[in-house]
Each structure stands twice: as C-alpha cells, then as structure tokens.
C-alpha cells in the first residue's frame, strides 16, 4: 500500500522539488508581524498559531471549537500533555501532535502539521477547510489553522523521521533548510510554518466512489472512478429519484446482546443515495476549484444516525467505526443507543470525509478539471450551486475596484497565503466551473435536487437557476 501511494504521488512530488527555487522568486516569506486572522495565540519559543478569518461571504464568522483547541496547544509547556512525533507513513513528512487523554490514560493523535513539501501545499489545506464551510460543510473537511514551529525543534523531529519508513520524505527537508525557502519559513528564518489540521477519527475508506483498488496509473484511477455507480448517477440527467438502486448496502456491526437491527429500507436508500450524490458533486467542485492532483485513494466516510424532526430539520448522532484487534474498520458499531434511535425511525447514513486535501494549488495538475468532470454533473445540492455562483459573481465584481478594496482577493492572499499564481488559478477555475454549472442548469441538464429534504418531499426543488 505504501509503495502504491508513493508511486501515485511520485510525479507531483518531483514537480514540487523541481519548482522549489522558482517558488522562492514568486512568494514572499510568511511575515509574522503582518496582521491576519481572527485570533493569534503566542506560545513558547515565539511560536504562533493563527485562526484564519472565515470566508467573507460566510454567514458564520466564528471560529470552530476545534480550531480554538488546536491553537491552545503549547507544544513545550508540559510534556505530560503534548507529544510531538514524526509522521512515519504515507508520503508527507508531517509533525504529529498527540494530546494526553485523561480518561484513557494515554496519548491520542489529534492533529498533524503539514508544510509545503513533497506533494503538500499548506495554502491548499487552509483553503479546502474555508471553502468547505462556505459551501455548507461540503465534504466534512477537517478544521485547519496556521501554525509555526521553532526550527531547532523541527530539526529534531526531522532526525527522528529519517529512521522511519518514509525516511526519504523526511530527507527532502534538507533542501528547504539549505535554501530557507519562503514556502516553509517565516520571514525571520527562525521558524517553519504550515497548516495544522485535525486528524479525523472513526472513519472508513469510501470504496463506493473509489473504483478499483488495483488501478495504478492516474488514467486507470480516473476510469475506475467513472465506472462507479455513484458517479454514473451524478452524471445522469434523469430525475434523481429514478436513479436510486434497489439495494444500497451498509455494513453494521452489532455489539454483543444487541440482537437484530432493522431500518426503513426505502427511506434509508433514498436518503443514502441522495447523500452519496451530493457528496460526490461537492468533492468534484472543491477539487476543480483548488487543482487537486491526488484525490483518488484519498476518499473517506463517516456515519451518523439521521433523525427527522419538526421544521424539516435533521438531527445527527455520530456512529463509531467497529474495528478488529489490528485496528481495521469492519463496519459501523451499533450499541443499545444506536439501536434505540433506529427503532424510533432513524436511519444510519454515511457521509463523505475529505481529510487529505494537501496536494492542490497552482503548481499541481487539476485532474477533475482536465477530465471535465464538473461539466458532467447533473445533480447537485442547491446550496452548493448557489454559493458557487454567488462567489464567482462577487470575484468578478471586485475586478472593477482598486486592489486595496478587493476584499476577497486580500482574504485569499492574507488569510490563506495564496500567491498571485494561486489566485489566478482559483479565479480561472471558478469562472469555468460556475459558467458550466449555470449553462447546464438553464438548459435543464443540471438539477438542484441532490438534497435529502427535496427527495423526501419536505421542500420543493428550486425553480430558478439564479441566486436570490
């Protein structure tokens, strides 16, 4: 699996290394004194953690609780509470942050600090989270903040990483140390920086939209993705209700003495298939906007029990993954509480979790855009569609204003650390994607019906393709 993952990322990694010197001429170093973020927390050794401001067009401008928690960690104040380790799997030489769990009496992995090395790009991680929030929680992207780390401390982690199974990845840091690359160093050259992002838990691999695990080349992976039933439904212009399969299997693992578990099968299939299609469309939109190069194989899911309450709202109860002794997820764990919720009319539903989003940005190959996937979408959630169209309109309107008044552009560069090339990439991708979506909507090809409440008849599908 590791060799397969390395092979998948080999081309983008080599591209990143080749362009490292060019990058230095394009990007200014991260200026610690520049005002940014809605909150800055200062820690030992002059390290800082910054919670970026939320997307300007978002109604919710408050920081997430997990962002507050991550920025509250001082890496060195108390070794009994925080432990730093070198990541020893996959392809990114990240720093793992573990926090002591008083209840379990052991350290638990909580976050990872990823800098712009190998295939990774910190601004892409920050942007995925903020755009996900803006689009209504698209892909359940994990929380992310901007974090610095003392250079000497980081070098000690790097030395530990050079004895791990991804030693060659950790060795790649040597070049960045020598060049003091502004893509990973603060302006005083005393700290490295990156995106500190939450480590998702209780997830499983999203095999329904991956295709064949045996696919090795990018072309084969794309073909396998297009062959999945969910992709075929998302790109089929027939009414979504007519595309719901007669069988949608989900693996449940009942705890001892729980007995049989039953759900309303028609309701579950309708809700689950609608959620699958919504998730896939949202993934394609995010990946198209941010030049994602390394998606296939990086799709995961988590589960909830949905309860439908008054006012057309959905109440969600988190469900844990059932794992064997080796830690492999076997299905979703059903205990007494979960069984009671299902007996009361709830249904267990899987949602997408886009937890690996670092291989994006203007230097990467936009796999979904190159394949024209966004243009093929025929079902999308209304909120995702309208917010995308509004964002494109807002960015276009800003072009008539002086640079100092371009709020969205300044947000991307100041809060998400986009370069000028990144911003041009995003504007171009957004313009192409929004134009294609509006054109298809007006032609009746794209339906704004990947909404559970629409499919259950609890609200009408929007009649207009224009936002309010």
What are the C-alpha distances in Å from 382 to residues 271, 313, 447, 451? 16, 16, 9, 7
User: Which pLDDT belongs to residue 59?
Assistant: 82
Provide the domain limits for residue 84: 2-198
Residue 116 lies in a domain: yes
| DSSP3 helix / strand / coil % (the chain, rounded to 5) | 40, 20, 40
Residues near 195 by beta carbon (within 8 Å), at least 6 away in sequence: 113, 114, 122, 123, 125, 126, 144, 145, 146, 147, 358
> Is residue 174 in a domain?
yes
Q: Are 80 and 100 in contact (CB under 8 A)?
A: yes
At residue 291, the pLDDT reads: 96
Put residue 118 in one of left, alpha, beta given phi > 0 → left and psi -120 to 50 → alpha.
Answer: left
**Does 328 fall in a domain?**
no
Number of domains in the chain: 1
Structure-block tokens of residue 63: 């920081």
Residue 277: the pLDDT is 98
pLDDT reported for residue 238: 97
User: Is residue 275 in a domain?
Assistant: no
| pLDDT score, position 2 | 38
205 falls within a domain: no
- The token duo for 161 is 């990483």
* Amino acid 29: pLDDT: 63
Q: For residue 446, what pLDDT is reported?
A: 98
* Assigned domain for 394 exists: no
The overall longest dimension of the chain from CA atoms, in Å, is 68
Residue 320 covered by a domain? no
Extract the residue ranges of the chain whose pLDDT is less than 50: 1-27
In a domain, 325, yes or no: no
Strand positions, DSSP E, 52-158: 82-86, 95-101, 106-114, 144-150
How far is 9 from 90, CA to CA, in rounded Å? 10
pLDDT of residue 58: 86
């Amino acid at each position: 699996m590791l060799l397969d993952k390395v092979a998948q990322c080999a081309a983008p990694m080599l591209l990143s290394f080749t362009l490292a010197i060019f990058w230095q001429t394009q990007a200014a170093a991260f200026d610690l004194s520049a005002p940014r973020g809605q909150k800055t927390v200062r820690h030992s050794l002059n390290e800082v953690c910054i919670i970026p401001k939320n997307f300007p067009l978002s109604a919710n401008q408050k920081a997430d609780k997990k962002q507050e928690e991550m920025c509250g960690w001082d890496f060195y104040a108390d070794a009994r509470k925080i432990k730093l380790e070198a990541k020893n799997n996959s392809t990114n030489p990240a720093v793992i942050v573990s926090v002591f769990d008083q209840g379990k009496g052991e350290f638990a992995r909580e976050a990872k600090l990823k800098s712009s090395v190998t295939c990774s790009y910190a601004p892409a991680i920050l942007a995925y989270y903020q755009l996900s929030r803006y689009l209504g929680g698209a892909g359940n992207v994990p929380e992310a903040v901007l974090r610095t780390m003392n250079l000497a401390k980081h070098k000690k982690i790097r030395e530990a990483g050079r004895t791990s199974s991804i030693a060659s990845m950790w060795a790649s840091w040597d070049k960045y140390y020598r060049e003091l690359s502004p893509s990973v160093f603060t302006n005083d050259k005393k700290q490295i920086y990156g995106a500190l992002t939450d480590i998702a838990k209780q997830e499983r691999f999203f095999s329904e939209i991956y295709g064949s695990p045996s696919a090795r080349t990018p072309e084969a992976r794309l073909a396998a993705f297009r062959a999945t039933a969910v992709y075929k439904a998302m790109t089929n212009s027939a009414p979504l209700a007519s595309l719901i399969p007669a069988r949608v299997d989900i693996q449940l693992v009942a705890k001892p003495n729980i007995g049989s578990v039953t759900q309303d099968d028609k309701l579950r299939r309708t809700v689950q298939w609608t959620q699958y299609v919504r998730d896939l469309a949202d993934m394609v939109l995010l990946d198209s906007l941010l030049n994602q190069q390394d998606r296939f194989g990086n799709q995961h899911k988590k589960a909830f029990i949905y309860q439908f309450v008054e006012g057309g709202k959905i109440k969600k109860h988190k469900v844990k993954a059932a794992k064997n002794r080796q830690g492999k997820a076997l299905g979703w764990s059903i205990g007494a509480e979960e069984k009671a919720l299902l007996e009361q009319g709830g249904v267990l539903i899987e949602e997408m979790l886009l937890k690996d989003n670092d291989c994006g940005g203007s230097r990467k190959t936009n796999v979904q855009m190159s394949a024209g996937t966004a243009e093929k979408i025929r079902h999308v959630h209304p909120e995702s569609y309208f917010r995308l169209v509004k964002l494109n309109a807002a960015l276009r309107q800003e072009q008539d204003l002086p640079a100092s008044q371009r709020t969205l552009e300044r947000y991307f560069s100041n809060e998400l650390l986009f370069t000028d090339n990144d911003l041009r990439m995003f504007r171009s991708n957004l313009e192409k994607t929004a134009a294609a979506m509006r054109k298809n909507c007006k032609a009746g090809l794209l339906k704004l019906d990947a909404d559970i409440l629409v499919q259950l008849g609890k609200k009408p599908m929007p009649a207009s393709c224009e936002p309010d």
